Amino acid sequence: MVADRGRLIGVWRGAARMAAPDPADRGLAYGDGLFETMRAHAGRLPWWPRHRARLALGAARLGIAWPDEGLLEVALAEALAEAPDGVVKLVLSRGVSARGYAPEPGQPVSLLLSVAPAPAPTVAALKVDRLELRLGVQPALAGIKHLNRLEQVLGAIEVGQRGLDEGLMADSEGRLTCGVRSNLLVRLDGRWLTPPLEHAGVAGTVRALLLASWSPPGGVQVAELPLAVLARADALLLSNALRGILPATRLGERLLDPCPPGLDTARAVLAASHPAFCEP
């Protein structure tokens, strides 16, 4: 049984297993690291290659070394033994270094593994709205899943205060970008469109899967979307690696199509790729 709050599997600094995170870890000092939150199924991580690829992209972007492969394998196996059908969270930080923003070269990276239960089945109604909070434009950090998540924390607070299930975020230049914890697909003029993630946002695993393998009526493509398009959207899909694909049923005061064209095939693509998303 996995506790609600999640459960620590282990902390490593280089190859050494530690009792706890180092107080001087740069993950804590500066958010200088990356993470992945992954859904397990029957003791496996079907999307590990996707999560690993994004983690590797982030590590390359930030100049963080890659952890020891053997250690990573052993640590993930331990997490999967503990939560074979739960959620596995992996944090990779640049490790410890002397005070100051400049990293100290050659320091071992830190790993932190924890597990949590799979999310509860989704409610039928899903109310979204655009948030007041905008995302900063930062091409150097866009797309990757780094530990600087205050914008998402503030976004989640706004979502809660407004009684929403998810919030839609635009960047500081007014481009619709993503949900607080999801990627967005917008049904507009008979096509599915999803914002590029070169200015802000995280490039999600489900989004990538849909762009590669889904052929909905009218097609799906990446397109810059000014916030104003929301007024004309017929339907919205939210995607993330823990909950899969969810249609928003309300945008502000407006009802959206809860079964838009292509939702069935999107879910079939998802289920074929990851068995945790097979309909019961």
Tell which positions 195-254 bind a copy of itself, by CB under 8 A. Answer: 200
Chain Cα centroid distance, residue 14? 25
User: Which of the stretches 92-100, 122-130, 202-210, 255-263 binds a copy of itself when contact is defined by CB under 8 A?
Assistant: 92-100
CA distances from 68 to 43, 71, 159, 179, 276 (A): 22, 5, 39, 33, 28
- Among 4, 69, 253, 279, which residue sits at the site for a copy of itself (rule: CB under 8 A)? 4
Backbone angles phi, psi at 122, to 5 degrees: -80, 145
As a whole number of angstroms, the distance between CA 94 and CA 34 comes to 9
All residues at 6 or more sequence positions from 137 whose CB lies less than 8 Å from its CB, including other chains: 171, 172, 173, 199, 200
- Among 1, 16, 49, 63, which residue sits at the site for a copy of itself (rule: CB under 8 A)? 63
- Among 37, 122, 213, 273, which residue sits at the site for a copy of itself (rule: CB under 8 A)? 37
User: Taking CB under 8 A as the rule, does residue 176 contact a copy of itself?
Assistant: no
- Among 16, 69, 99, 253, which residue sits at the site for a copy of itself (rule: CB under 8 A)? 99
- Among 1, 14, 17, 25, which residue sits at the site for a copy of itself (rule: CB under 8 A)? 25
User: Taking CB under 8 A as the rule, does residue 98 contact a copy of itself?
Assistant: yes
Q: H-type helices in 117-249, by residue range? A: 150-161, 205-213
Q: In the numeric block, which tokens belong to residue 134?
A: 């905008």
User: Which of the stretches 39-47, 74-82, 98-106, 228-236 binds a copy of itself when contact is defined by CB under 8 A?
Assistant: 98-106
What string marks each residue from 105 to 144 as x (binds a copy of itself by CB under 8 A) or -? -------x-x-x----------------xxxxxx-xx---
User: Taking CB under 8 A as the rule, does residue 100 contact a copy of itself?
Assistant: yes
Chain Cα centroid distance, residue 161? 22
- Among 40, 75, 76, 147, which residue sits at the site for a copy of itself (rule: CB under 8 A)? 147
Rounded to a whole number of angstroms, the CA Rg of the chain reads 19
- Among 14, 46, 84, 103, which residue sits at the site for a copy of itself (rule: CB under 8 A)? 103
- Among 17, 66, 73, 148, which residue sits at the site for a copy of itself (rule: CB under 8 A)? 148
DSSP letters for 241-265: TTTEEEE--EETTEE--SS-TTHHH
Contact status, residue 254 vs residue 130, Cβ threshold 8 Å? no
- Where do we find the tokens 């790993």? 111
Q: Which residues contact a copy of itself (rule: CB under 8 A)?
A: 4-6, 8, 11, 19-32, 35, 37, 62-63, 87, 89, 91, 93-94, 98-103, 112, 114, 116, 133-138, 140-141, 146-157, 159-160, 172, 180-181, 200
